[in-house]
Amino acid sequence: MTPEQLSLFVKAAELFTPSAPIDDQQLFAGRTRQLQGVITAIAQKGQHVILFGERGTGKTSLSRVTSKIIKEYFEKSVHAVHINCDGIDDFDSLWKTIFHEAQIEITEGDMPNGITPEGVRFSIQKNLNSQQQEKMLILIIDELNELRDSLTTQLLADTIKTLSDHCIDCTLILVGVADNVEELIAEHLSIERALVQILMPRMKKEEVFELMDKRLEILGITIDPNLKSAVMALSQGLPSYVHLLSLHSAQSAISANRKSIETTDLQNSIGMAVQKAQHSIVSSYHKAVSSNQKTLYPKVLLACCLASKDELGCFTAAALKGPMKIITGKSCEISTFSRHLNAFCEEERGPILSKRGDSQRKMLRFFNPVVQPYVIMHGISKGYITYEQVIGESAEA
Ligand SMILES: Nc1ncnc2c1ncn2[C@@H]1O[C@H](COP(=O)(O)OP(=O)(O)OP(=O)(O)O)[C@@H](O)[C@H]1O
Ligand SMILES: [Mg+2]
């Protein structure tokens, strides 16, 4: 490669970041409604935020970018702190970490009986009052789903209540993987007025396009709209796969000394994505479809990935009919694959899917949504489906 090619190659790797949340506003794509929701809540005293959704949809990135925007545009001095919960955290350890990160000193006298919601409120208020300049605190508590102890979330709800009742200039942003707020904080009803709930869905087509365009423009590389649609279909709106496919497509074009991404580049990137998939994803795929004989499991799982889904990634058995017809080349009734769907919900095959909904409307869902793009790309590499068919199918969905 020439020095110019090498420099572009490196630049592509800097711009497309499949494994890391982003905090650069310029590179942050879409999410306008969610961003506005969080910013409004921060600006209003007494309001706090809970940001929830499937794994890998961009919750951490949104919370990081929001605090950057607030720092830039608010007149007050803003101090934002971001911490991650883990399985052994309780209320006490959580707040010790937050106070440490936020450089808030607490003395024995402040909380003689250990850390309590009132004690937290008092310490934050004392800290804000001691500043010369008017100051605002943003505390982002991420990975809330990791907390094992329900007392901790109850005490967090009490903390939100007291911070809100006393109009303290401190916003808590709770972030976690969940379908609904109850899963993260069962006591949310007691603080409903004070807690703004924001769902982070998968990315829409326009958001995926914006993510790619912003970065490709910096690289001076173009891409055909059909290939962008292909990335949308393959990634299933999960931004880390948009980054991954775009990165390898761009690098493939750069290596061939071209300024435009072509079909072969995207095909190369699919191969790379399958080869470089995380071990955990590959093994959950093999566990789900394994058999000594030739079975329908791989094709039914692929059809699950292509089935049209709601905002939370749920789909019905009936939604598999269309994709099954394309994959097998013939019309299939639900009875052809219902046995396989049930097996996917059993321990023996992962379970890779979970059932939800009532008897009227049974829904299915991937335990880990991130396996879906892998299954699709693996299906393409095995010849079960062409990538043109994947695009066609997702356009219909
Ligand atoms: N708005 C966005 N614009 C561009 N890239 C994004 C955006 N949101 C997320 N990403 C990218 O998507 C990937 C996942 O983002 P992030 O880690 O923020 O998701 P998450 O929901 O916090 O994931 P998890 O549930 O695993 O904690 C990262 O590669 C990140 O760079
Ligand atoms: Mg995260």
Mean pLDDT across 155-165: 95
How sure is the predictor about 362, in pLDDT bands with cuts at 50, 70 and 90? confident
**Where do the structural domains in the chain lie, given as residue ranges?**
3-18+204-275, 31-200, 279-396
Establish whether residue 237 lines the binding site of ligand 1, counting it when its CB lies within 6 angstroms of any ligand atom.
no
Superfamily of chain region 31-200 = P-loop containing nucleotide triphosphate hydrolases (3.40.50.300)
pLDDT digits (tens, 9 = 90+) for 43-90: 998 999 999 998 889 999 999 999 999 988 888 889 999 999 998 999
Least confident of 20-34, 303-317, 338-352, 356-370: 356-370
Q: Are 300 and 341 in contact (CB under 8 A)?
A: yes
Q: Which is higher by pLDDT, 10 or 149?
A: 10
How sure is the predictor about 112, in pLDDT bands with cuts at 50, 70 and 90? confident
CB atoms within 10 A of CB 62: 24
**Residue 374 pLDDT exceeds 90:** yes
> What whole-number distance in Å separates Cα of residue 138 and Cα of residue 183?
23
Residue 395: what pLDDT?
Answer: 57
Compute, in angstroms, the gap from residue 280 CA to the centroid of ligand 2: 18
| Nearest CA among 173, 159, 163 for reference residue 34 | 173
3-state secondary structure at position 130: helix
> What whole-number distance in Å separates Cα of residue 246 and Cα of residue 4?
19
Establish whether residue 17 lines the binding site of ligand 1, counting it when its CB lies within 6 angstroms of any ligand atom.
yes
64 CA closest ligand 1 atom index: 18
Compute, in angstroms, the gap from residue 52 CA to the centroid of ligand 2: 10
pLDDT digits (tens, 9 = 90+) for 122-134: 999 998 988 777 8
Buried b (16+ CB within 10 A) or exposed e, 91-123: beebbebbbeebebebeeeebeeebbbebbbbb
Residue 313: what pLDDT?
Answer: 83
Mean pLDDT across 369-394: 87
Establish whether residue 211 lines the binding site of ligand 1, counting it when its CB lies within 6 angstroms of any ligand atom.
yes
How sure is the predictor about 390, in pLDDT bands with cuts at 50, 70 and 90? confident
> What whole-number distance in Å separates Cα of residue 177 and Cα of residue 27?
23
CA 369 vs. chain centroid, Å, equals: 9
Establish whether residue 177 lines the binding site of ligand 1, counting it when its CB lies within 6 angstroms of any ligand atom.
yes
pLDDT digits (tens, 9 = 90+) for 174-227: 999 998 888 898 877 788 889 999 999 999 999 999 999 999 999 999 999 989
> What whole-number distance in Å separates Cα of residue 186 and Cα of residue 193?
15
Compute, in angstroms, the gap from residue 236 CA to the centroid of ligand 1: 14
Domain 279-396: which topology?
Answer: Arc Repressor Mutant, subunit A (1.10.10)
Establish whether residue 58 lines the binding site of ligand 1, counting it when its CB lies within 6 angstroms of any ligand atom.
yes
Residue 174: what pLDDT?
Answer: 97
Mean pLDDT across 120-149: 90
> What whole-number distance in Å separates Cα of residue 381 and Cα of residue 275?
10
**Residue 394 pLDDT exceeds 70:** no
Establish whether residue 60 lines the binding site of ligand 1, counting it when its CB lies within 6 angstroms of any ligand atom.
yes
> What whole-number distance in Å separates Cα of residue 242 and Cα of residue 29?
12
Residue 397: what pLDDT?
Answer: 56
pLDDT digits (tens, 9 = 90+) for 303-355: 999 998 887 788 999 999 999 999 999 998 999 999 999 999 999 999 999 99
